[in-house]
Amino acid sequence: MSEVLEGVEKAEAEAAQIREKAQSQVEEIQRDAERKARGMEQIVRAEFTEEIEALQKSVESKAKTKSQRILSKADEEAVSLEEQGTKNLKKTVDLIIKGVYAFGGEGK
Amino acid sequence: MTMSSSAADLIQKTIVDEAKADAKRMIAEAEVSARQLTEEATENAKTNLVGWADRRRQMAQASGDRIIGKARNDAHMKILDAKARIINDAFEQARKRFEKERGTAQYKTFLKYLIISAGIQIGGGDIIVNARKEDQVIISKITGLATAISKAAGESAKVSLGKKPMDMIGGVFIQNKAGNITVDYRVETLLAQVEQQQRSEIAKTLFPKEDKTQSDKE
């Protein structure tokens, strides 16, 4: 009988050890989760930052492409204006001269 | 009372197995709880940071708008600069044309009518005509100035040349004897007035296609 009791005591000791070890693991899991939770804002902020930086890069890249188109179009328009201006310069000078001479017209 | 060794072994095994099952359950529960804690922390962090992230996103979008806005402004300035350069060129050409025309009959008539017009504005009286040295010679040969002014102003008029010639492109700078009433008909002043008053017409003459494009845009 004493052998049986001894066996039970041994088994209970082993069970206690198992539970103790499990409790230790539970505490470790809890500590780990709490540590993660505390650092979560930093992780989420880093994720947001990465997403926003990618967005900014994409927005700026598109804006730069569009800017180049706008400026190229302006260059073309400026060239067209130069061409038109050169072509119509004499006519315009005539108009200006006529405008100046018109100031003497009131005395007629 | 005796107990077989197999029954004792069974009891021992049961005790250990129960402990193992308890341990497994404890760990599983801890893991679920840890997962919940992490998920809650993630949600809380997102909630806390959503405003900050939205502002950063808006700033990112705004940086694109700024780039495009600057390009639009630069493009607008390029076109304005091109127009201004050409308009200035036209006025420079007009100024040079005037310098060449100063000896023509049309210019002589122009001076005559400028003087009469200014004399009428001053209201007759002693009219002093300031002009270029070369134009003083032309003006001195023009007749009927005082008569024309007197007739239109209803006041007797006397026209004389200023003592010193003026440095100008052409035209005249008229004043009464007291010098408190002046009429600036210098060609450079008239050119500036033409530019101011006829800017739109000059632009339409220089850039007819651009004007059409504007109409199309509207």
What band does A65 get if pLDDT is binned at 50, 70 and 90?
very high
What band does B212 get if pLDDT is binned at 50, 70 and 90?
low
Q: Which residue of B12, B26, B94 is in closest CB contact with A96?
A: B94
Average of per-residue pLDDT values in chain B = 92
Please give the pLDDT value at position B218: 38
Instruction: Using the predicted structure, report yes or no on whether residue A56 has a pLDDT greater than 60.
Output: yes
Instruction: Using the predicted structure, report yes or no on whether residue A12 has a pLDDT greater than 70.
Output: yes
Q: Which residue of A22, A30, A108 is in closest CB contact with B34?
A: A30
B8 vs A80, higher pLDDT: A80
Measured between CA atoms, the residue of chain A closest to residue B110 is A104
Please give the pLDDT value at position B211: 54
Instruction: Using the predicted structure, report yes or no on whether residue A62 has a pLDDT greater than 60.
Output: yes
Instruction: Using the predicted structure, report yes or no on whether residue B174 has a pLDDT greater than 70.
Output: yes
Task: Report CB contact under 8 Å: B45, A36.
Answer: no
Question: How deeply is A72 buried, as exposed, middle or buried, from its count of CB atoms within 10 A (0-12, 13-18, 19+)?
Answer: exposed
Instruction: Using the predicted structure, report yes or no on whether residue A17 has a pLDDT greater than 50.
Output: yes
Please give the pLDDT value at position B8: 81
Number of inter-chain CB pairs under 8 A, A vs B? 251
Task: Report CB contact under 8 Å: B116, A8.
Answer: no
Please give the pLDDT value at position B213: 53
CATH homologous superfamily of B104-197: ATP synthase, E subunit, C-terminal (3.30.2320.30)
Residue spans per domain, chain B: 11-101, 104-197
Q: Is B27 on the interface with A (CB under 8 A)?
A: yes
- Average pLDDT for B40-48: 94
Q: What pTM did the predictor assign?
A: 0.72
Write a three-state SS string for chain B: CCCCHHHHHHHHHHHHHHHHHHHHHHHHHHHHHHHHHHHHHHHHHHHHHHHHHHHHHHHHHHHHHHHHHHHHHHHHHHHHHHHHHHHHHHHHHHHHHHHHHCCCHHHHHHHHHHHHHHHHHHCCEEEEEECCHHHHHHHHCCCCHHHHHHHHHCCCEEEEECCCCCCCCCEEEEEECCCCCEEEEEHHHHHHHHHHHCHHHHHHHHCHHHHHHHHHHC
- Average pLDDT for B32-41: 96
Task: Name the least confident of A2-16, A50-64, B2-16, B76-90.
Answer: B2-16
Instruction: Using the predicted structure, report yes or no on whether residue A106 has a pLDDT greater than 60.
Output: no
- At B82-98, the pLDDT tens digits run 999 999 999 999 999 99
- Average pLDDT for B50-75: 96
Please give the pLDDT value at position A28: 97
What band does B6 get if pLDDT is binned at 50, 70 and 90?
confident
Residue B164 half-sphere exposure toward CB, CA atoms < 13 A: 3
B160 forms bridges with which residues in the sheet?
Answer: B128
End-to-end CA distance of chain B: 113
- Average pLDDT for A37-44: 93
Please give the pLDDT value at position B217: 46
